[in-house]
Amino acid sequence: MINQRQSTYPSREPAQTIRATSVDGFFSWAEDTLRRISGEGTLADERMLVIVDDEVLAGALSRAAATVAGVPRDRVSTSVGARSAEVTVRPTSGFGVDRDDVGAAAQRELERLAPRPPVRQRVRVEAAGVIER
C-alpha cells in the first residue's frame, strides 16, 4: 500500500527546476540593477563573477599611471564614471610627464582587468608642477 501512495504523488523535479531558474533570473536582475545604482562593474573571469567598486578600478589606474609617470601615488587622481575614467597627473616641477605613456599604461591596466561594461580612459597632465620638499 505504501508504494502505491508514493507513486501517486507528482514528481518534484519540474517545481525544483522552475524554482532554480527563478532564483538564477532574480540574481541576474539584482546584479544588473545594483551595478547601475552603486557605481560598480564586473571583471571578466572564466571561473567566477567579480564585482568591483569604481574606487578599486580608479586605484588600479592611478597606481599604473603613477608608476609610469614617475610621481608619487598621491599626485595622481582618477575618477571613474559609468563608462569612462579620467586620470589626472600632477608632475613634479621641472620634470615632464609623457601623456601618451601614461595613457598607454592606463589602457594596459584596463585591458588586463577587462571591466564590464567597457571603460574608456582619458589622461590629463596638469600644466603646473608641484615642488618637492
Maximum mean pLDDT: which of 20-24, 36-40, 61-65, 125-129: 61-65
Write down the pTM of the prediction: 0.65
In a domain, 55, yes or no: yes
In a domain, 92, yes or no: yes
Q: How many domains does the chain have?
A: 1
In a domain, 7, yes or no: no
In a domain, 26, yes or no: no
Helix (H) or strand (E) holding 43: strand 40-43
**Can you give the residue range of the structural domain that contains 68?**
51-125
Q: What is the CATH number of the domain that holds 106?
A: 3.30.300
Core vs surface per residue 14-49: b (16+ CB within 10 A) or e: eeeeeeeeeeeeeeeeeeeeebeeeebbbbeeeeee
Q: Which three cell numbers stand for residue 92?
A: 613634479
* DSSP 8-state assignment for residue 12: S
At 52, the pLDDT band (50, 70, 90 cuts) reads: confident
In a domain, 25, yes or no: no
Please report, as a single letter, which amino acid is at residue 21: T
Higher pLDDT among residues 72 and 17, named by residue: 72
Higher pLDDT among residues 1 and 13, named by residue: 13
